[in-house]
Structure 1
């Protein structure tokens, strides 16, 4: 959801610099070994005392790891407490449907591809027709005024939305000197709110949003399979 208040600075500038503290909460995800024609490996997980979620694709001898998703895509009933239901291929294909446009937009505006994916995941869960209660639209949930600023004619056009949202991330990264937390906070609360408060605004929604985007950013950075990274933990 976007709520913009400040004029946009130029879109040119240095690449986004990710502070080391932005990776402190990175999830310990194991990269899954995939082979042509093979199914996904089983996924095991546990959450440590610091709240960090750890994943592995095979038993490690550590009793804390519990089966989370079976190789056929079904969630473990031990975690959910219900009979697992395998997600359909159609329900999962959305996570990779926009790969080419995400890569193009990320390259054009020099924003990490994984950050674009994380914002899309947290904003719309890859639903190009999503509309928020306050009127934010499309994959990256552009408000009409933001879409206009980013030269997006149709916010429900997936390609236009991705390029517009990524351009806005570039503007925010320039404005906040590459600070990842402030860039994410600005995307949610507006750059004006971030500037007034001199940091992440004291809004519960924005603080939770920064944490969630950073979490998915780490997930996308640490596994090559975007579908696995996109599945809710």
Structure 2
């Protein structure tokens, strides 16, 4: 079973949900089938967007107000889409992206309280109707996710941990937001139970991807 050319899959979820690990697992699965893969991330994914990433993810949790933060996110995303994602899709490659615009809906819209509609208006202004073909939303209990995230940054200097240091209430709103996004767009989004070991979660991811590809008639 192989996907159509130009498949765009985004990985979403709260902090410590294991997205980055699962992207590597899915990348290997696709490469074993001879597929041409581009793995990227947000914020970041292009030279200009990577510069903005440092502004967004480091420093004090209150460094930016929610609107400024959202605008920075979409400035980064615009550059990423135009310089990395669209060219890869146009050449028939599969793009696996660690976060995309749904993260802005969840983090700034739900987490910071700007509202999902506000963020979706910015989405439309910045990149139009462009969105992933499939979005995998990794879900697990808050305490477990934050514990994993804390362990990840424990020995890293200048860690990109600005969001991890936001309060538990923020992270609960974030989790609720991702679930709401999945509920609103059932055709595009699938929730992945991120509890369990790497192999178990990877099996869930591959099953979801196979289901999507089959549904597209590939």
| Greater relative contact order (CA < 8 Å, ≥ 6 in sequence) | 2
TM-score past 0.5 threshold: no
Higher strand share: 2
TM-score (ref. length: structure 1): 0.25
Structure of greater Rg: 1
TM-score (ref. length: structure 2): 0.26
Higher helix share: 2
